[in-house]
Chain A
Amino acid sequence: MNIWFSRLLIGGLVLAAIGYLMAPLWLALLLSALLYLLLEPLVAPLQAAGVRKDLAIATVLLPPLLLLVTAATHGVNLTRDYLPQIGADIEHLQRSISLLLGSLDNQIESVVGLRLHLAEQSDAFNLLDWVQAERLIASTSVLGNVLLNLTLVPLLAWFMLRDYRGLRDRLLSFLPNHQFELGWLMYHRVCVRLQAYLRGLLFQALILASITAVGFWLIGLPSPLMLGALTGIAGLVPYVGPLLAMVAPVLMMIAGPGLDSGMLLEIIVVLMIGFGFDNLVVIPFLLAGSVNLHPAVALLAVIIAGNLGGIVAMVLVIPLLGMTRIIVETTLRGLQSR
């Protein structure tokens, strides 16, 4: 029993070390794994129809590749057009926040008789000062890393679709004789749960993005597609997703048409409809039971992961915990049968 636990511990430590070393590529690996899960079911029927494997992979990879190139080109053009006016927009945003806090301060004073000087405190934090050269350079390197990751996605997805099974077979053949079948069983259980979770997550993001994009378009917010996409991504973060989703549309409203309590209410209604549909329909049908963790454990794990590794870690921590649970359960069951 002790040998098993020490092996599990060593295995866990090795995986953690590999995870740490691969940290700059997590985004690329996550996105290519999602692409693999999405496209792999399309490759099988093409191969079954007699199409060669490489040609089948190229056929299914072409549409997402074209989509990615189009989105990247659009993003670069948008950034190039937007950069010259970023200073004016930040000043406008600062003024709007100051006005909002000033009116809030007045209301508090009229009701409670206490003045908090919120507007003065917010003015002390100058957003333009915050956007300094070093920060811009730092954000450029982050942007560079994201672009590198995005460039790697089609390449990694290609290799996953072509060589994943061969690599998996080779790795599993290293298992010792008495753990050969247990190893395969464990792999299969983890894969089934993980695939169900990640596929569900992908469809959840697409559905949430579509609903909120339409809602933002209806209430007249600028760039509804981009805001919908950001909401879809924020929705991937368990528990704190709805709060994160509020940030972009509210900032966009303040910087764009200006502060409007009616529009703020409309934004909240759109997000409530989106997340309500997500929680009542999408999650029960697509994600329920796929990881089977206690909500308190999941919430704690999400907060700790967010503190340690940011949003990508917050998205990944739940499936990782689910995997760990399956591995431990299968190992214990295997031990009990001996």
Chain B
Amino acid sequence: MNLKQRHLWQNPFRKNDPAATLLNAWRQTPLLTGIPASVCSKLVERTHLRQYSANEYLFREGEAGVSAAVIISGRIAICSGEHVIAELGPGDFFGESALLQDAPRSASAMALGNASVSFLVRFQLEEFVRHRPGAGLEIMTNLARLLVARLHRGNRGEDSDQASHLNGDLNNAGDRAP
């Protein structure tokens, strides 16, 4: 029984299936829009679920970033220096520019309480794309769309706080381009 079937048939009886929760969280990100559930589940199998306690840093400003993340539970603060730029919650997707380049993080991310965050590492995404070029093309197109949308918002000069709360095509406050 694959993740999709499990999600369809077991949900009425087991509402807290962690694998289905993880898959749902990733499927709702702009990165996996339009990707079939069976392919998504293969990619989500490669993600890393990590637990954080209050005030623990996910990453710090200036560190090399290699992964994008989705919050599964808890709240995360995005800080630049001493200032909190945004507060993110379950389902929010951030840090996606690290999926494309070796650039230092432009902001820090800190757990505000106990939090559970799923990471997708760039090198694993590259391996996935190599093995599934069709789905890989769609994922990369989604990533490009996401970054273009962010660029447009930046050009329009929208406030990053507002941007971070728009949990649709763009919720990337954790790793804004410099």
Footprint of B on A, CB under 8 Å?
A: 44, 47-48, 165, 169, 173, 177-178, 180-182, 184-185, 187-188, 333-334, 337-338
Question: Is B6's CB within 8 Å of the partner chain A?
Answer: no
Contacts of A188 in B (CB 8 A): 66, 123
Quote the shortest CB–CB distance from A169 to chain B (angstroms).
7
Kindly state the separation between the CA atoms of A112 and B156 in the bound complex, as whole angstroms: 91
A184 lies within 8 A of B132 (CB): no
Nearest B-chain residue to A338, judged by Cβ: B60
Given the known interface contacts A169-B46, A177-B56, A177-B58, the answer about A334 and B119 at a Cβ–Cβ threshold of 8 Å is: no
| B89-112 near A? 1/0 per residue, CB < 8 Å | 000000000000010100000000
A-B contact count (CB 8 A): 50
A47 lies within 8 A of B63 (CB): no
Nearest A-chain residue to B117, judged by Cβ: A177
Given the known interface contacts A177-B58, A180-B48, A184-B121, the answer about A334 and B63 at a Cβ–Cβ threshold of 8 Å is: yes
Contacts of B48 in A (CB 8 A): 169, 173, 180
Kindly state the separation between the CA atoms of A173 and B48 in the bound complex, as whole angstroms: 7
A184 lies within 8 A of B67 (CB): yes
Interface residues of B, count at CB 8 A: 26
A334 lies within 8 A of B64 (CB): yes
A338 lies within 8 A of B63 (CB): yes
Footprint of A on B, CB under 8 Å?
A: 46, 48, 50, 52, 56-60, 62-67, 102, 104, 119, 121, 123-124, 127, 130-133
Which of B50, B66, B127, B132 gathers the greatest number of chain A CB atoms within 10 Å?
B66
Which one of B57, B58, B64 lies within 8 Å of A182 (CB-CB)?
B64
B52 lies within 8 A of A177 (CB): yes
Kindly state the separation between the CA atoms of A245 and B48 in the bound complex, as whole angstroms: 49
Nearest B-chain residue to A49, judged by Cβ: B133
B119 lies within 8 A of A48 (CB): no
Nearest B-chain residue to A178, judged by Cβ: B57
Kindly state the separation between the CA atoms of A298 and B133 in the bound complex, as whole angstroms: 40
Contacts of A44 in B (CB 8 A): 130-131
Contacts of B63 in A (CB 8 A): 181-182, 334, 337-338
Kindly state the separation between the CA atoms of A337 and B119 in the bound complex, as whole angstroms: 21
Nearest B-chain residue to A333, judged by Cβ: B64
Contacts of A185 in B (CB 8 A): 64, 66, 102
What are 24 sample pairs from A and B whose C-beta atoms fall under 8 A apart?
Answer: A44-B131, A47-B131, A48-B130, A165-B127, A169-B48, A169-B124, A173-B48, A177-B56, A178-B56, A180-B48, A180-B50, A180-B119, A181-B63, A181-B66, A181-B67, A181-B121, A185-B64, A185-B102, A333-B64, A334-B64, A337-B63, A337-B64, A337-B104, A338-B60
